[in-house]
Structure 1
């Protein structure tokens, strides 16, 4: 689904919002304050770069708030963390950073809490599940900015060729459907299992949750080597990999490659996020979506929620100005415009309600419905970035060798990292 830009807000509306924010916060009559905003690029070409969105937003904000300037820098996802670290090291820290994680910055004592820089109206407008995911030791630091969730995609044309009438609800259904597809539709990978380094932590999360466990337990403690997870990867190895119902070496397959194969009619089933809707349409694929299959009827339906975050750095002391800008940036119209431009899902209640009621977003309904109850990565753990990185490089071995050994090694690494990076 190619994004549809909403009409730009009328200048009068922006002016009212901005001035009310300034008045409420009591910003004085001194010289202009410049906020330094660093953001990740969601675009794929110069024409779709997020730089254009943020430049436009900054211009509108500055018109309504002449005593606050916003200097915007947008970097690729591969560069942004290094660029921000360099700024901090050189004594030139940003005020706001929009990227993928926050807990390590909390451990380093670099951030304002969310309540420091959000008005009550702004903070209570976020979906509760995202506010909780932004917590570190019970205090919210991560400010949700954009979201994605996952659901099951299947190729209807391939299903018809294989004589399959409905999507699988359980793992046994999936295995049986995959076997039919292998037998009746040659040249097609029945189920994509992308455990390559691009996003293996997502596929791992979905399979462990659908097996009744997860990367962490209910208390947020790493549980990578739980018996349920060992059973899950044994099942994958024995029923999908060893029987040649997925790629020969899932650990070498990235998520985007699996998406491309699905959009080219070469994959019959996989778990995907909203971007795949657009790719599948571009490939003229007759596809459907359904809940992610679970181990059995005793396991509740699952959905993985993935969030990107805004974080507010405290070093420059611009708390009030940051609050004014965030009140503006997170209003419904601005958030809707960004989400629809980049095929993302909303993190605020009013944006979710607006997108859900819009018939143009009918295909997004399974993703939108999943957001309020979605499960998330352990974002609040300062060790998550390094643990996630290790999962990306190692988890593919769990369906090639001994799952218990691989998961035990990952668990030991995760526990040690969490202990070493725990705030003192």
Structure 2
């Protein structure tokens, strides 16, 4: 990937075919302290039903960040997330085993003529609409076990699920309804016109499901996490990995943590020079855990500021969510609480540690327990603490939340600001929470 002119503001509307890695073409170079704006297509469902994709998402080409070197970190302060789709379809998936090899998200093949990653055309609507351009067979590897189509209000505050007739009407205008960007190469999932659960009202709060930095090895974008990445271990395709240790090169961009939304700051590891920031997988809403494994995929724009944190070597992301998204036990202390704490500490002859800041350490793994252990390890490395101390602090001033089943978590903790100062992120925590 060649060097490019540094831009203070960089707009990106070019995408990969489902891969992240050091060999992907740069989208451009943004200044350290600059701003990135992206226009992203829907994922996961669109890429999932489009056989030419090598991964389950359609994310932006990687963005080089000025001054970012291996062993640094990049802070992404998310200013805006705006949904541009008018509707989407989602639900629980089924797999068409004849249409893939080891992995239905990765190694696609036409079930009749055997063409790998076949070009496809759309014929009509419904789950058999995606046809192999060579032989005309239904070439998609996914369908719905239970699916629904949802239309949004103009302000994207709520959505209502459609009946059969309304879902079909939206399917006939699928590209426009989903606002699929011009440079996107996916088929829109609204084509499938699922219509179960009609008339259900849902609240919307958009967030970014897959955002972060480029891993030093190429992998499917949807598998850049410790849970989805398990399917790469021992896989007999071009992106198969030999061991869990190889999967340790991931950067956990695919988090599906609903708190990664406008107002939050995400601190990401730099594992290739230039960082390779990428953005994708916008969702209109999601409950904790993403229990269907999928949610409301949408097109939209993201605007975020970028800052390099020199010498902050991380294994995975750190999230500074909006203050309103923090658990009660992890909120910064109020003036009244501090005053009461000072009096109590004085009564017992103890020096009160007054300056504490909330952080969330992202962990991922094959299961929720594995992901939590991964978060313990990462928090211990970040804060210079034993696992026992991490567990104790997270029990007394934090906890663990489920980002995605089976294995992405947010480990909440109130950390001593003196430690965060040493690690170079205290200013970000102070700014985020007005400390």
The bucket for the TM-score relative to the shorter chain is: under 0.3
Q: Which has the higher contact order (CA 8 A, sep 6+)?
A: 1
What's the TM-score once normalised by structure 1's chain length? Answer: 0.26
Structure number with higher helix proportion:
1
